[in-house]
Structure 1
Amino acid sequence: MSSSNQSFNELDDIYQDIIIDHYRRPRNKVNIPDPDLFSRGFNPFCGDEVTLMITLATKNQIKAIGFTGQGCSISQASASILTELIKGKSLKEIVEISDVFRNLVKGLAVSDEDLDKLGELEALKGVSKFPVRIKCALLPWSTLEDAISKNKDL
């Protein structure tokens, strides 16, 4: 096996470990009482469910975020990583991250600078090879976008 193939396999293993870790030990999988933003997402094709609850520090910045739900490792890991990644971020930053992630899982070109914004979300880039799983990875992000769009004050 060439060293470049070995490097790719090792990277795949690391990415798989990140996904499994977030699936088995999800971060911020809690109910947030009286959230400022709330949305439920459901994927009818596979039954994945994600509910996001968000409190804002200011009109434009996330203070706390929690999620509940059930589903495959991809959707639940994506939700867990989302909650870690966007805490403390502005809504503008969140939209940028969401756009970059959407491009990544759809197999579109993403700059190194944009990849740096994704942190552990990069572990889900392999989803691009499995079109049916793209919706699983994007479910928490679509749910987040829905929560933001429901609040006319933002």
Structure 2
Amino acid sequence: MSLDDLYRRVIMDHYQRPRNRGRIEEGAVTVDLNNPTCGDSISLQMRVDDGVIQEAKFLGEGCSISLASASMMTEAVKGLKQEQALELVDLFSRLMQGEEIDIEQFPLEDIEALTGVSKFPARIKCATLAWKALEKGLKEPH
């Protein structure tokens, strides 16, 4: 099995069995974003207590890359301080732009499966939609 095949399987696993899909009942910051170029949409919810992301969930519609990325992102940021999560947003953005980064900095190995997206500029917005929602939710007052 090639590395591309393995990455495809990881992406499809997160797409078909998304982690943290759903709603947080109370005390959540909610961010809704759309990618009008391809029709992806996400509603990200986070519960942040004392500067730490306690819980992150999402609902959305879109392609496998968009929803798999949201699943991976919600797994990666739980338990992180807001500053750490914002550092991951920056790191992920640089990864999607094709920069060489230390993939070991991500707390979830599955994110490595999205490295190939940088070869397809039209798909970068799909992969970064959930991450942009995370950034917006952490930076804007609520």
Please give the range of the TM-score, normalised by the shorter of the 2 chains.
over 0.9
Of residues 105, 119, 137, the one that matches 1:129 is: 119
The reply to whether residue 141 of structure 1 matches residue 134 of structure 2 is no
More helix by share: 1
After superposition, residues 21-32 of structure 1 pair within 5 angstroms as 21-32=13-24
C-alpha displacement of 1:91: 0.8
Q: Which runs of 5+ in 2 are unaligned?
A: none
TM-score with structure 2 length normalisation?
Answer: 0.93
Q: How many residues align?
A: 140
- Per the alignment, residue 18 of structure 1 pairs with 10
The structure whose Rg is larger is 1
Aligned counterparts of 1:138 and 1:128: Cα–Cα separation in 2 = 11
Aligned counterparts of 1:19 and 1:43: Cα–Cα separation in 2 = 19
Q: CA RMSD in A?
A: 1.3
Per-residue CA distance 1:63-122 (angstroms, 9 max, x = gap): 111100010000000000011110111111111111111111110121x3xx11222111
TM-score with structure 1 length normalisation?
Answer: 0.86
Q: Which runs of 5+ in 1 are unaligned?
A: 1-8
Deviates more, 1:92-101 or 1:18-27: 92-101
| SS of the residue 1:52 aligns to | strand
- Per the alignment, residue 117 of structure 1 pairs with 105
Q: Which runs of 4+ in 1 moved over 6 A?
A: none
Answer whether contact 1:41 1:143 (CA < 8 A) is retained: yes
Q: 1:48 to 1:129 in 2, by over 3 A?
A: same
Aligned counterparts of 2:105 and 2:9: Cα–Cα separation in 1 = 20
| SS of the residue 2:2 aligns to | helix
